[in-house]
Amino acid sequence: MRLRYSGFILFLSRLLSVGTGILFSLMVTRNIPEKFGVFSNIGDVLSYFTLMSGVLPFWAARFVARRHPGASATGIVANTLTSLPFALTYVLTLPQIMASFGIGEEYVPVYTIVALEIVEVYLLIAFESVLRAERPQAAGFGFLAFEACKVVFGFVLIIRLGLGLFGVIVSIICAYLIQLLYYVKLTLNDFHQEVRWSYVREWIKASPLNLYAIAGQRIAAFYLILLFIYGGELSRGYYGAAATIANVVGYSALLGYALYPRLLSGDRPEDVQTSLRMVLMFALPMTTGAIVLANSYLTILNPIFTAATSALSLLAIDSLCNSLTSVFGMVVSGTEKLDVQAKISYREMVRSRLFIQTSLPYLQAAVLLPLTYYVLNSVVNDAVEATVYAALMVLVTDAVVALLNCGLAKRSLHFGLPWTHIGKYAVASIIMAVPLYLLPPPARISTTLAETLFGGVVYFSVLCSVDVESRSIVRSAKNELLKMLRISPA
């Protein structure tokens, strides 16, 4: 039940935040639609200066889960110090970055203030790594605080004061600050611990594995930079809009969030099956809904983005693949014993399945990047085609990575795939899709949201009629949702 509780809190917090996320996205896409591509590019650039943000927290979470004293305070302090040189490097290299992308001087204030966001990202990841090992559900409440505050700040800065893209970035920075203050409150007792620099030495010694993994991920993600450069700002805007909707499917991966710390404390094959069932129970209908209502969801953001309908369908399936990859990745990482004694050996690290797993993004990049460059320069004729081809290529490569991760996970821990349950989820999703497809395309946001709710009711009604476990999970989800809203269930 603890595994399900943490997963439900995180997942339900994300679902509740969909409304606030849509509101904020509307503020951006309705007020500055022509700058959405630049906004997406800021996120792409930011990701390269937060490369190290998860390195030390990765090991800190493992040490905290295994109850090594002082690991919490050490992880937070060490990651804070790590953020400073990266923020400084960003500021110093900003002129070259903007020149390389051909970005005008009017965006200098916007790109400059992102340096604060870099520091915040390092802090957030440090706190969440500690909380994940101690109370995983806390990240769900923290995310809700971030989303709610982002909308409030966005309304004031974007709508009322008309600060445009600058107001968008400042809203995010302020919302992150509120989230950080919440995490500080939760972890105050951890700061009474002694900072153990011996842990940091072990983490730094092991950091080549993390850097190897992160570098592979960022190299593979360079296709987004190629899309911006060769496909154009409009293509990146289309892709960003489609990804905004498709990423909601990825929230289902949070249902397996608590699996990782549980596996660190002991191998539990039954927990893997439980996590897969929970993730797929929501991921399959969410993917189906995103495909059937793709045009309607993009219309909510801005009617100009409906050109990316096909791309959204592809990216929704891609998010499903990534959700499965997340669970399989947690199995590989959670069962790895190379740091169980608070000592890390290079020889064991290189021979581990964790090393094989971190090598997969390089395989993906070796295929994806040359193919993207060729297609964008030789095949596509306009921004829409560039967006669709980019989505298709990333889907194919991510699907292959998901299959390879599944193979690694099954070698790390013997578990079975819940095929019977998958079949039930698939049938219920198809039944849900039929009326949604037959209904006329909605013209209003409220109608789109009503159809989404209707689809969810149809799906769970069908599923609960054929699956006893699903009825239990739905009841648990209902009760947890009511608790989050501070309502006593009947």
Look at residue 24 in the predicted model and tell me its pLDDT.
83
Centroid of chain to Cα 13? 14
Task: Round to whole Å and give the CA distance between 251 and 432.
Answer: 20
CB contact set of 457 (below 8 Å; sequence gap of 6+)? none
Q: Are 241 and 29 in contact (CB under 8 A)?
A: yes
Task: Round to whole Å and give the CA distance between 336 and 330.
Answer: 10
DSSP H or E segment with residue 43: helix 36-49
CB contact set of 309 (below 8 Å; sequence gap of 6+)? 294, 295, 298
What is the token pair recorded at 412?
A: 């790390």
Task: Round to whole Å and give the CA distance between 386 and 377.
Answer: 10
Q: Which of 148, 162, 143, 166 is nearest to 42 (CA)?
A: 166
Task: Round to whole Å and give the CA distance between 111 and 42.
Answer: 7
| pTM attached to this predicted model | 0.74
Task: Round to whole Å and give the CA distance between 256 and 4.
Answer: 8
Burial 111-146 (b: 16+ CB within 10 A, else e): beebbbbbbbbbbbbbbbbbbbbbebbbbbbbbbbb
List the chain domain ranges. 1-195, 213-490
User: Which amino acid, residue 389?
Assistant: Y
Beta strands per DSSP E along 69-197: none
Q: Are 474 and 464 in contact (CB under 8 A)?
A: yes
Q: Are 230 and 377 in contact (CB under 8 A)?
A: yes
Look at residue 487 in the predicted model and tell me its pLDDT.
44
Centroid of chain to Cα 155? 24
Running along the chain, 490 residues long, what does each successive block of 10 average in pLDDT? 54 66 78 77 87 87 81 91 95 91 86 94 92 73 86 91 90 95 88 86 82 87 91 89 88 67 63 83 93 91 88 96 90 72 65 85 94 93 93 96 92 85 93 92 80 91 83 66 50
What is the token pair recorded at 206?
A: 């092991």
Output Rg (C-alpha) for the chain, integer angstroms.
Answer: 22
What is the token pair recorded at 373?
A: 């460059």
